[in-house]
Structure 1
């Protein structure tokens, strides 16, 4: 069995039990008075000054059952019902005594003495039965309320654990991008230094510093405007332009209004452009254009990264140097949006390769 808490009455749950108990007993009093009125008996009007305080006191006698219900959290159903039965008998006896005192004050019982023992027993038995049924039902209602509340709390705890797991998974996926990108960039800087292109190497280090400052300051599960994602992408592209010069062309087809309206996971575009540079720009001997477009369609934001490189010759969806690439992006979208998001990749009809993302344009993830 659990332990009794001393602060249960100052909690929202404790106050809810108090008001629920008072309301249920006052409702019983109201129903009784209504039936008396419908029967043409109006004597209850003179008893109100005594009835209402007596009913409130009777209701307050039920409240000690609440901490008991909490303490029986781990008890078996049979143990709970047996204890509820005994407690209801004890409380009903106390409530009946309150009603005897009320009857004495109203003159229904002339005196508490042996001469009036029969009327005392008759009155006690009559109210005892009614109080027992109502008190047992009240305790059962309290127990049911506690059970529903506990199940809701357990459900919320499971959801929170699931959300934390999803955030940890997102963090792992996001943090994988930095070593992947750093590996490629540091290799490029090393090649530039080896080739004596120190000015370009210095510029790449400066651009790398800017990019890392932007990306590492972001929360791993941040949802950012498309405009912010494009700014981070611009820092990344500046690094790659140093490597490939005129062979790399970037074309943006994004309406300015969409840049603020579309919200998306941070650093979701960089691996798509990196994939295009790796398999379209790097092997090419001619300029390659990577076009990034964005629009809204069917209640979804659509982001497309398309290049005019050798799309048909290489199946890029299954080839990534570290096993990340598109699989990483797909997992992040699935974690954030579930079935509301999709990633499609394949050769473009006009040549080259195309990757298209679809996801809700606002913050609708389950995290």
Structure 2
């Protein structure tokens, strides 16, 4: 089993790239520094050679800082958690002060020929001479590497968060699509079951001719339902045509008792998008709680009206004293409400008693409206 406490190995390409970048950066800085020194010498009348100045700059100043920047970068790549806590950063800074800085002074003193020490006094003089040499460049390099590492870590976290949000969005969309398909799978057999019930009632009553006509009408409705099941949306005008065919089929069962008044049918319905098979469950619910619950002719009303930026669709039917307080809690209306929510966050279905009538009202945002 892999030991998770061990640091991950550094990829060779990554380590080589880090060292190469540090080498290029400090070589460029050495070239600029040597050029500045050469220019100052010219203005001061001092004879100097640029290649020699460049070699001095690179060997005395750049080499230690190349070691610092590359080594610190590689260490942070291998142990990225070193900057997560303040005490770890402080420990790194102590290493800079107690280990790297004396090593840098020793290197520069050796390059300048200052290591000819004969007494403790010579050591003290060397320490005073080298005390501030390279201090600002070393601490600046240290701070820059830590800042770059912190920025990279923050960027990685941000990208990881964005990827997780994108993955969650894709997953949610996939789940919503599956829920929509499941709702359709529930709705279509439910509609078919009720339509077959209407035809079977005619067969039991001996109305063979009417039953055959109902089968023909049912085949037309099923063709539309199958076509609609492959689409994500329809128009209210198409759904109204489907409902008229559905009512013709139900009229074979109920006869003259089935009375449905449709108001507000106009051009607006051709532009209003809606889920497929939207109106049929509303009409079916009205039939079930009107004609199936009482004798005499029905009184179902279907109306369309523009209300601001939405199309309001109302299906109402009488609700007698014995009508349940919420007769719209069945499968048809529950599925319709969920399908509306999935189609558009601004779409809704409200159902309940209003006086002596049960009202189911759909609000559909019109095209171009959020």
| Fold in common (TM above 0.5) | yes
Deviations along 1:111-169, one digit per CA (max 9) or x if unpaired, are: 656x9753443553698657776566556545533432331121011012112212211
Q: Residue 95 of structure 1 is aligned with which of 25, 29, 38?
A: 25
Structure 2 equivalent of residue 344 of structure 1: 350
Structure 2 equivalent of residue 332 of structure 1: 339
**1:191–1:231 Cα change, 3 Å:** same
Q: Distance in 2 between matches of 1:364 and 1:151?
A: 31
Q: CA deviation at 1:256?
A: 1.5
Structure 1 equivalent of residue 111 of structure 2: none
Q: Does residue 1:274 correspond to 2:284, yes or no? A: yes
Deviations along 1:163-199, one digit per CA (max 9) or x if unpaired, are: 2212211222222122222222222222322333122
Deviations along 1:51-93, one digit per CA (max 9) or x if unpaired, are: xxxxxxxxxxxxxxxxxxxxxxxx99x989xx99997666323
Q: Does residue 1:206 correspond to 2:227, yes or no? A: no
- 3-state SS of paired residue (1:344): strand
Q: Distance in 2 between matches of 1:253 and 1:188?
A: 26
- 3-state SS of paired residue (2:311): strand
TM-score (norm 1): 0.63
Q: Distance in 2 between matches of 1:148 and 1:326?
A: 43
- 3-state SS of paired residue (1:317): coil
Q: CA deviation at 1:255?
A: 4.5
Structure 2 unaligned residues grouped into runs of 5+: 39-47, 67-136
Q: How many residue pairs align between the two structures?
A: 283
TM-score (norm 2): 0.63
**RMSD across aligned C-alpha pairs, in angstroms?**
3.9
Conserved? CA contact 1:88–1:135, under 8 Å: no
Q: Does residue 1:317 correspond to 2:326, yes or no? A: yes
**1:180–1:348 Cα change, 3 Å:** same
Q: CA deviation at 1:278?
A: 1.6
Q: CA deviation at 1:302?
A: 1.6
Structure 2 equivalent of residue 187 of structure 1: 197
Structure 2 equivalent of residue 361 of structure 1: 366
Q: CA deviation at 1:359?
A: 4.0
Structure 1 unaligned residues grouped into runs of 5+: 1-74
Deviations along 1:231-252, one digit per CA (max 9) or x if unpaired, are: 2222211211221121112222
Q: Distance in 2 between matches of 1:341 and 1:347?
A: 20
- 3-state SS of paired residue (1:281): coil
Which shows bigger deviation, 168-177 or 88-97? 88-97
Structure 1 equivalent of residue 59 of structure 2: 121
Q: CA deviation at 1:254?
A: 2.1
Structure 2 equivalent of residue 164 of structure 1: 174
